[in-house]
Amino acid sequence: MRAPLLEARGLRKHFPLRGGVLQRTQAWVRAVDDVSFEVAPGETLGIVGESGCGKSTLARLLLRLIEPDAGVVRFDGEDVLAASPTRMKRLRRDMQLVFQDPYASLNPRLTIEDTVAFSLLVHGTPRAEAEERARALLGRVGLDPRLHGRRYAHELSGGQRQRVNIARALVLDPKLLVLDEPVSALDKSVQAQVLNLLRDLKAERALTYVLISHDLNVIEYVSDRVLVMYLGEVVETGTAEALSQSPKHPYTQALFASAPSMDPDRRMDRLPITGDPPNAINPPSGCRFRTRCPFVMPRCGEMTPPRVPVSATHEVACYLYEAAPAPVA
């Protein structure tokens, strides 16, 4: 087995909520709690979960745009969180982020050519070369630089802006791309185009993807492996097929069952999941899903269930599976 390109161990991030006369910390938003996973080189890991489950925070933690409270992030074996500023700048060439909001993620005062070239200029590329490479990359993502290069962000459509985002991320020749809801703000027809572009680019450039989304269809379309998050914690990980065909965690089951389908045979009468998701400020003790879980047991409230393997590549964090015997080696 090849060494993982990206490794996260025990990542935790809590945000303080200040209030009161003296602005003291009154509560904590437990955005990310003890998240661990690995990404092998060349694969696409899909991270799925509802809004507010901590996915975007996780994306920023991985790229060290926010400092975690605890945990380790290793890129190609190197500790990212311990890197010096100079080393960090070098690392940033290898790990890039494609942002969610195509409208807020581009500087309205720069042409898209300059936006893409900026990343290169920051790392010392001479201006002429930076502009040329930026133009080439814009062409590769489907925006003719002669037509669009000197345009401004507000003159482009959502899909075009996301292409610019992708170009900006790729111009530094990274090895890893983290994509935070890359197509959520786009129309369905455009979503397919952008996803296909991402797939082609990945093959051409031997990239590794971590793709975050709340949309199951997108996750199923692109991922090799999937990680399911609920309220800041990992509840299940496995290959895309394993999770879609035999999801183990009650939450994953509900997720896959609640995806609306055009197939009349698959329409449901009963809702697979009820209740509102609790917020991350005071999550339920123990397993955070227990307040909505149809299989809840008394011990679910005592302690967070540990991740247990269901097969060689499939893990669940649920007491329902704890009694499963370890596979014989």
Partner 1 sequence: MALATALIEAPALATAPMSYWRTVGWRLARDRATLIAGGVLAVIVLSAVLAPWLAPYDPAAGSIRLRLAPVGAPGHVLGTDEQGRDMLSRLLWGGRMTLVAGLTPVLVAFVLGTALGVMAGYVGGLTNMLIMRTMDIFYAFPAVLLAIAISGALGPGLPNTLISLSIVFVPRVVRVAESATVQVKGLEYIAAARASGAGVRAIVRHHLLANVLGPILVSSSTQFSLAIILAAGLSFLGLGVTPPAAEWGLMLNTLRQSIYVNALVPALPGLAIFVTSMAFNLLSDGLRDAMEIRG
Partner 2 sequence: MWVYVGRRLLLAIPTLLGASVIVFAMVHLAPGDPIAAVMPAEASKAEIEATKRAYGFDKPLPVQYLVWLGRVAQGDLGKSLATRRPVILDVRDALANSLVLALASSLVAFGLGVALGLVAAFRQGRVLDKLASGIAVVGVSVPHYWAGIILIIVFSVQLNWLPAMGAANDPGVWEYLRHMILPTVALSLIPLGVITRVVRSAALDILNQEFVLALRAKGLVSRRVFTHVVKNSLPQILTVLGLQFGFQLGGSVLVEAVFSWPGTGYLLNLAIFQRDIPVLQGVILVLATFFVLLNLAVDLLQTVIDPRIARH
Contacting positions for partner 1 (CB under 8 A): 60, 63, 65, 88-90, 92-93, 96-97, 99-101, 104-111, 115, 118-119, 122-123, 146-147, 150-152, 154-155, 165, 168, 172
Nearer of residues 27 and 70 to partner 2, judged by Cβ:
27
CB of 48 to partner 1, least distance (A): 22
Parallel, antiparallel or unpaired: strands 233-239 and 314-316: antiparallel
**From the list partner 1, partner 2, none, partner contacted by residue 218 (C-beta under 5 to 8 A by kind):** none
Nearer of residues 166 and 317 to partner 1, judged by Cβ:
166
CB of 2 to partner 1, least distance (A): 26
The Cα–Cα gap between 76 and 208 comes to: 12
The Cα–Cα gap between 285 and 63 comes to: 29
CB of 119 to partner 1, least distance (A): 4
Binding positions for partner 2, rule: CB under 8 A: 19-21, 23
Nearer of residues 23 and 274 to partner 2, judged by Cβ:
23
Q: What DSSP assignment string belongs to 207-276? A: -EEEEEES-HHHHHHH-SEEEEEETTEEEEEEEHHHHHHS--SHHHHHHHHHS--S-GGG--SS-S--SP
Nearer of residues 77 and 108 to partner 1, judged by Cβ:
108
Nearer of residues 123 and 299 to partner 1, judged by Cβ:
123
Cβ contacts of 310 within 8 Å, gap of 6 or more: 238, 248, 316, 321, 324
Nearer of residues 26 and 107 to partner 2, judged by Cβ:
26
The two three-digit tokens of residue 284, written as one number: 């339920």
Judge whether 29 and 14 are in contact, CB under 8 Å. yes
The Cα–Cα gap between 41 and 61 comes to: 19
CB of 56 to partner 1, least distance (A): 10
> Considering only CA atoms, which of 8, 3, 62, 54 is closest in space to residue 29?
54
CB of 115 to partner 1, least distance (A): 8
CB of 223 to partner 2, least distance (A): 41
Nearer of residues 19 and 301 to partner 2, judged by Cβ:
19
Query: How far is the first Cα of the chain from the last one, in angstroms, to the nearest whole number?
Result: 16
**From the list partner 1, partner 2, none, partner contacted by residue 152 (C-beta under 5 to 8 A by kind):** partner 1
The Cα-based distances of 168 to 104, 112, 114 in angstroms read 14, 9, 10
CB of 193 to partner 1, least distance (A): 20
**From the list partner 2, partner 1, none, partner contacted by residue 257 (C-beta under 5 to 8 A by kind):** none
**From the list partner 2, partner 1, none, partner contacted by residue 19 (C-beta under 5 to 8 A by kind):** partner 2
**From the list partner 2, partner 1, none, partner contacted by residue 65 (C-beta under 5 to 8 A by kind):** partner 1
Question: In degrees to the nearest 10, what's the CA dihedral of 106, 144, 192, 176?
Answer: -60
User: What is the sign of the dihedral through the CA atoms of 87, 112, 155 and 96?
Assistant: negative
**From the list partner 1, partner 2, none, partner contacted by residue 21 (C-beta under 5 to 8 A by kind):** partner 2
**From the list partner 2, partner 1, none, partner contacted by residue 327 (C-beta under 5 to 8 A by kind):** none
Say which residue the tokens 């990239």 belong to.
207
**From the list partner 1, partner 2, none, partner contacted by residue 122 (C-beta under 5 to 8 A by kind):** partner 1
